[in-house]
Amino acid sequence: MADFNQILDAGDVDGGIINVVVEIPTGSSHKIEWNRDLAVFELDRVDPQIFAKPCNYGFIPQTLDEDGDELDALIITEQPLTTGVFLKAKVIGVMKFVDDGEVDDKIVVVPADDRNNGNAINTLEDLPKQLINQIEFHFNHYKDLKKAGTTVVESWNDTAEAKEVIKEAIKRWADK
């Protein structure tokens, strides 16, 4: 089986169109993660349904965040995407996030070619405020029932900041 991280790169970061692989569909309470050593998707755990993902969740190939995992992506679509689907995605911002004291940022993206919506989403400001609130609530509280660990959404930042986070993650991957 081929490894996504050997075939796909991060994409055109400067141009704002990156490659993203879906791990968890919107609405799922399954914590599915890419296991780069085995080159397969793995069910890590089942979270309480109340903490199902408010949007699709995935990663950017050939990147490493400060937590040692591929850089995460929050993929905004009207319908859930299937685990393992790859898409070209437009970078619209970054959610600065800390999980148990480790930086675990989330790049916010939409499909690059979303003709049905007129490609109307170009920045975080184009997203419904309620969706931003739901995502922030989810990430601030999804560990509450475990009574272990802390999570904090620190801020939401623009596309320029998101691109810098991606470039740093690409460098970390290259240096590993």
Q: Any binding-site annotation on 37?
A: no
Half-sphere exposure of 137 (CA within 13 A, CB side): 10
**Between the CA of residue 113 and those of 12, 17, 22, 47, 155, what are the distances in Å?**
15, 10, 16, 32, 27
CA distance 61 to 84: 12
Q: Any binding-site annotation on 31?
A: yes
CB 105 within 8 A of CB 70: no
Q: Any binding-site annotation on 65?
A: no
Q: Any binding-site annotation on 143?
A: no
Q: Any binding-site annotation on 115?
A: no
**Between the CA of residue 134 and those of 10, 14, 22, 140, what are the distances in Å?**
27, 29, 20, 10
pLDDT digits (tens, 9 = 90+) for 41-71: 999 999 999 999 999 999 999 999 998 999 9
Domains and CATH numbers, the chain: 4-175 (3.90.80.10)
pTM, 2 dp? 0.93
pLDDT digits (tens, 9 = 90+) for 97-152: 999 888 999 999 999 987 666 568 999 999 999 999 999 999 999 888 776 778 99
